[in-house]
Amino acid sequence: MGRLDGRVAVVTGGARGIGAAVARLLAAEGAHVVVADLLDAEGTALATELGGPSRFLHLDVTDEHAWQKGLARTERDLGPVSVLVNNAGIADFGTMEEQSLTSFRRVVDVNLQGPWLGMRAVAPSLRRAGGGVIVNISSLAGLTGYAGVGAYVASKWGLRGLTKTAALELAPDGVRVCSVHPGVIRTAMTAGFDESFAAGQPLPRFGDPEEVARMVLFVVTEATFSTGTEFVLDGGALAGPPAVVNP
């Protein structure tokens, strides 16, 4: 018997990377998972692998109408949603002076406005489910700055703040809302990063998507006294600077 038997969970950006690992783990715990993504082939293949009532939903998280339509169909077919993982995200590189306004807006649209639309759209369904959990995948970049990814950093700090507001607004309905902050994880998003990127961390390696998935599962099933707060998995990156001071 799983810890999420029969619960309906929507995972955005669920077709690959961290989202796919989350979808697999929630399904392994008995959840009926809706893999929501733009990638039809990968998303459909994953939903088939998950089996049972799990399914793929073509969803652009920046499209308000698509959220309404997708969630209405989900609730009609599977019942009310009790878990939403806002995981879909993009990165685009460039210093403040290099990055175009179009690129800045696109990153913020997907990474911040997307989860905002998702939380608004799912709230009534969560109430009908009698409560639930929203997990917003922020980043280490939602806790510190990084040169060369200003829009990404802004979007992930924004999502962290939005998480706290949503936690306050939805607590009376029995809904917890938390943010998860991964450090560098080996996925398509970091395909161009070499191993030296993690070398200065106390745990000098990239994380695995499955490690993030286990944190998400913990937030959903075990962190019952936590809402509006941050769950960090960063290989110790925030513990302090890597240089050893030797006076």
List of residues contacting ligand NAD (CB under 6 A): 12-13, 15-19, 37-39, 59-62, 87-90, 110, 137, 139, 182, 184-185, 187-190
DSSP letter for each residue of 137-194: E--GGGTS--TTBHHHHHHHHHHHHHHHHHHHHHGGGTEEEEEEEE-SB-SGGGTT--
Our answer to whether residue 146 is catalytic in this structure is: no
Q: How far is the CB of 76 from ligand NAD (least distance, A)?
A: 21
Q: How far is the CB of 211 from ligand NAD (least distance, A)?
A: 11
Q: What is the DSSP letter of 25?
A: H
Q: Which of 113, 128, 110, 117 is nearest to 65 (CA)?
A: 117
Single-letter residue type at 217: L
Q: How far is the CB of 8 from ligand NAD (least distance, A)?
A: 18
Q: How far is the CB of 122 from ligand NAD (least distance, A)?
A: 15
> In this complex, which beta carbon is closest to ligand NAD, that of residue 71 or of residue 244?
71
34: helix, strand or coil: strand
> In this complex, which beta carbon is closest to ligand NAD, that of residue 8 or of residue 39?
39
> In this complex, which beta carbon is closest to ligand NAD, that of residue 173 or of residue 210?
210
Single-letter residue type at 105: R
Q: Which of 211, 138, 234, 143 is nearest to 177 (CA)?
A: 138
Which member of 56, 104, 152, 157 is catalytic? 152
> In this complex, which beta carbon is closest to ligand NAD, that of residue 16 or of residue 24?
16
Active site residues: 152
